[in-house]
């Protein structure tokens, strides 16, 4: 996956979570009865919805960075451990 593809995918996820949180908060502001009965849960779900996407992006970026670093180190290790056949 390219960098732009990764950014587009994460931005779609972030947009969806922000939309969901916005709908919940707007419903609370409009006075939707079942949301008004659960004000703390509504705010908690809105916060968790957005932070889960951000956490997933951070973990994904960390794993990709680690894999990239491992791929760059691996060829150097292969050269250092090459054995020459003996003439005996």
| DSSP assignment string, 67-81 | HHHHHHHHHHHHHHT
pLDDT one digit per residue (tens) for the chain, 88 residues: 788 888 898 999 999 999 999 999 999 999 989 888 888 998 999 999 999 999 999 999 999 989 888 888 866 555 555 667 776 6
**In contact, 49 and 17? CB cutoff 8 Å:** yes
How many other C-beta atoms are found inside a 10 Å radius of the C-beta of residue 48? 13
Q: Say if residue 49 is exposed, middle or buried (CB neighbours under 10 Å; 0-12, 13-18, 19+).
A: middle
Q: Name the residue ranges covered by the structural domains of the chain.
A: 3-80
CB distance 57 to 10 below 8 Å: yes
């Amino acid at each position: 996956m390219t960098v732009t593809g990764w950014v587009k995918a994460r931005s779609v996820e972030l947009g969806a979570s922000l939309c969901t949180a916005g709908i919940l908060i707007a419903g609370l502001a409009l006075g939707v009865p079942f949301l008004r009965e659960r004000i703390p849960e509504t705010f908690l779900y809105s916060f968790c919805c957005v932070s889960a996407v951000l956490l997933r992006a951070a973990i994904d970026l960390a794993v990709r960075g680690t894999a990239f670093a491992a791929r760059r180190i691996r060829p150097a290790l292969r050269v250092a451990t090459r054995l020459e056949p003996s003439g005996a």
